Amino acid sequence: MSDETTHHYKMITYEKVDGVAWITLNSPERYNALVKEMREELREALEDSSKDDEVRAVVIRGAGKAFSAGGDLKAMAEWTPLKAVRELKEMGTAFVIERIIREMPKPVIAAVHGYALGGGFELAMSCDIIIASDDAVFGSPEINVGLMPGSGGTQMLPRHVGEKKAKELIFTGDRITAKELERMGAVNKVVRTGELMDAVDDFLGKIKDKSPVVLAAAKEAINASLELPLNAGIRYEMQVFSQLFSTEDQKEGTRAFLEKRKPRWSGR
């Protein structure tokens, strides 16, 4: 990969710069509503990022005044139950995107400003790290239009804020600030408006300095902790930990520590 690569899409922008894939939801006049075409382009960009060994991390952000105000209600107006099932399975919804993000062997960061509502909230929750500006507002307002979260929200939100708060937010459709979510541990960091990209760059600087193969292993083990009973999770962690001793990066990391120098990671 060259120092900078740009892929051309209609609804997103997708650039790779110095080992980071920057994916920008780019429909600001619609507050980056997750229409079908945008979801499909987002899925394609994420799949490409996942397969590119030179991409060390991925950042998802929104153009204009919002991260994403959610799903395409206009398209959903005529859905039947059968069509809803078909669309949710086939057209690359946030749930499919969430699985790609979760299984991707590299960190994915949501850089959130403005509205992150409905599907936009679900997309942010799917990411490994959420860094937000203090003007960011999150919410699951589907109840107000006769719906409920349908792209993973009822499953992810309780894991982020606990059962009781998740039910409150989904039952009422109330919005919640980035600062409130930060206090709950559901947002990693909140910064002043205008400083969001600086904060993202600072975080990227920290993780780009780590072994990509170890980052991938750590992400895999943490994800497993949310699905396995504790004893099974500990056994799984032991397996992943042990496998790291077959990697070049583990040997290099140990040598560099003993030789009091900075490690030179190969990603193998």
Classify residue 157 as exposed, middle or buried by CB count within 10 Å of its CB (0-12, 13-18, 19+). Answer: buried
Catalytic residue among 142, 163, 195, 220: 142
Specify whether the CB–CB gap between 114 and 65 falls below 8 A: yes
What is the distance between the alpha carbons of residues 233 and 249, in angstroms, rounded to a whole number? Answer: 24
> Tokens in use for 223?
């994800």
Residue 16 β-bridge partners = 5, 21
Listed as own residue / partner, the contacts of 36-41 with beta carbons closer than 8 Å and 24 or more positions apart are 36/72, 36/75, 36/87, 36/91, 36/92, 37/10, 37/11, 38/11, 38/12, 39/91, 39/92, 39/93, 39/94, 39/97, 40/91, 40/92, 41/9, 41/10, 41/11, 41/12, 41/14
First-to-final CA distance of the chain = 17
HSE-up (13 A, CA, CB side) for residue 254:
7
Specify whether the CB–CB gap between 108 and 148 falls below 8 A: no
- Answer yes or no: 122 catalytic: yes
Catalytic residue among 122, 168, 182, 227: 122
- Answer yes or no: 40 catalytic: no
Would you list the DSSP string of 56-115? -EEEEEESTTEEE--B-HHHHTT--HHHHHHHHHHS--HHHHHHHHHHSSS-EEEEE-BE
Which residues are the active-site residues? 122, 142
